[in-house]
Amino acid sequence: MRQHKLALCKVHFLDWVPEQVERTIKRYHMFTHQDRLLVAVSGGKDSLSLWDILYRLGYSAEGLYIGLGIDEGIDYSGNSLSYAHTFAEAHGLVLHVKDIKTEYGETVSELTARTHRGRYKPCSVCGLTKRHVMNLLAQSQGYTTLLTGHNLDDEAAILFGNTLSWVGSYLIRQGPVLEADRPGFVRKVKPLCRIYEREMAAYALLRSIPYIQEECPYAHDATSIYHKELLNKLEGDRPGAKLSFYLTFLQARRAGLFSPTIDERAEMVHSCTECGQPTTAPGLCAFCRMFVKSDYGQLPAMGNES
């Protein structure tokens, strides 16, 4: 690991990763052993490894798998669900499964094609759907904290995208912890935010965690992949650049470099008239609006929100 000037054998690497995650959990006051934790599990290496690390650290965490119905010839969603199931069963852990088609009548692919006449990319529709379902389940079942498997590469790419266009409202909210500072929102945390993607891949491999290797068929369209490639070039020349980019941003944010606008400070939170979830605009939330067939109004710009 050139970025840490550190070389470890398998045994020590498999101890090092959970130690680093535990330090991150404590450093950012993410949660304690008394919290009710819900991990968003996609069947990929990051979320399954996160669940594994929590298990090894003695935290009790349940999983949530969201069936998005992404099936572009490879049954991506079906395959990823079976990896999530396999892991949960092997460790005796509870996995909640929410299927979008069953619950709402359409898959993410169908929704993308229908709503907004295909003007939005599947990732925008998917992101909105996942955030809605995660918050709804976590809140309705009394979980205190929602955990996602975003790693350092994910966070640096999101930060890079938001910095390129200086999206202040996202920059101010990006970080290891998103507090439940508005009614109806569950606290969200990212315990892997300081671990490189390569390190997570090595962890999953060395722990022999079976996970879905294929990329989501829509991933090639995601701008974040391009940003990751750019950052990888930088990291190749300057090991540690990604970590430093992310950590110095957090420092700047803590120092008050970004502050909410007057409009954002005055922003009210309403309850969606359909699902009861929080929304900043009165009436339907963005998710429920997406399902209303006659409404082709603006979706919020969601691509870079994590």
Binding of Zn ion by 299 (CB under 5 A): no
Q: How far is the CB of 77 from ligand Q46 (least distance, A)?
A: 9
Residue (of 279, 35, 306) closest to 174 by Cα position: 306
Taking CB under 6 A as the binding criterion, the range among 90-98, 123-131, 254-262, 266-274 that sits at the site for ligand Q46 is 123-131
Which partner from the list ligand Q46, Zn ion, none does 288 bind, CB cut-off 5 to 8 Å by kind? Zn ion
Amino acid identity of residue 207, one-letter, is: R
Based on the shown chain and the rule CB under 6 A, indicate whether residue 303 belongs to the binding site for ligand Q46: no
| Alpha-carbon torsion (243, 157, 51, 189), positive or negative | positive
**Residue ranges in 108-261 assigned as alpha helix (H):** 108-114, 122-140, 152-164, 168-171, 197-206, 223-237, 241-254
Of 41, 306, 55, nearest to 193 (Cα)?
A: 306
Q: Is 290 in the site for Zn ion (CB under 5 A)?
A: no
Distance, C-alpha 215 to centroid of its chain: 16
- Taking only Cα atoms into account, the Rg of the chain, rounded to an integer number of angstroms, comes to 19
* Nearer to Zn ion (CB atom), residue 138 or residue 159: 138
Least distance CB 137 / Zn ion (angstroms): 14
Among 84, 100, 264, smallest CA distance to 167 is for 264
- The footprint of ligand Q46 on this chain (CB under 6 A) covers a number of residues equal to 9
Please state, in angstroms and rounded to a whole number, the distance separating the CA atoms of residues 146 and 139.
9
Q: Does 123 contact ligand Q46 by CB under 6 A?
A: yes
- Under DSSP, the state recorded for 67 is E
As to burial, measured by CB atoms within 10 angstroms (0-12 exposed, 13-18 middle, 19+ buried), residue 268 is exposed
Site for ligand Q46 in 195-214 (CB under 6 A): none
Binds 290, which of ligand Q46, Zn ion, none (CB < 5 to 8 A, cut-off by type)? none
> Both tokens of residue 239?
């090991």
**Residue 243 interacts with ligand Q46 (CB under 6 A): yes or no:** no
Nearest-approach distance from CB 160 to ligand Q46, in angstroms: 17
Question: Which residue reads 């990329």 in tokens?
Answer: 215
- Give yes or no for a contact between 288 and 153, defined as CB atoms under 8 angstroms apart: no
To ligand Q46, the closest distance from the beta carbon of 131 in angstroms equals: 11
**Which of the listed partners (ligand Q46, Zn ion, none) does 171 bind, with a CB threshold of 5 to 8 Å by partner kind?**
none
Under the criterion CB under 6 A, does residue 149 sit at the interface with ligand Q46?
Answer: no
Binds ligand Q46 (CB under 6 A): choice among 206, 219, 252, 301: 219
Residue keyed to tokens 């962890």: 203
Positions in 54-113 near ligand Q46 (CB under 6 A) = 70
Of positions 152, 272, 290, 302, contacts Zn ion by CB under 5 A = 272
The CB-of-179 to ligand Q46 minimum distance in angstroms stands at 23
Among 43, 69, 127, 191, the residue binding ligand Q46 under the rule CB under 6 A is 127
Q: Which one of ligand Q46, Zn ion, none interacts with residue 48, CB within 5 to 8 A by kind?
A: none
Do 266 and 170 meet the contact criterion of CB atoms below 8 Å apart? no
Positions that interact with ligand Q46 (CB under 6 A): 70, 122-123, 126-127, 216, 218-219, 222
Positions that interact with Zn ion (CB under 5 A): 272, 274-275, 277, 285, 288
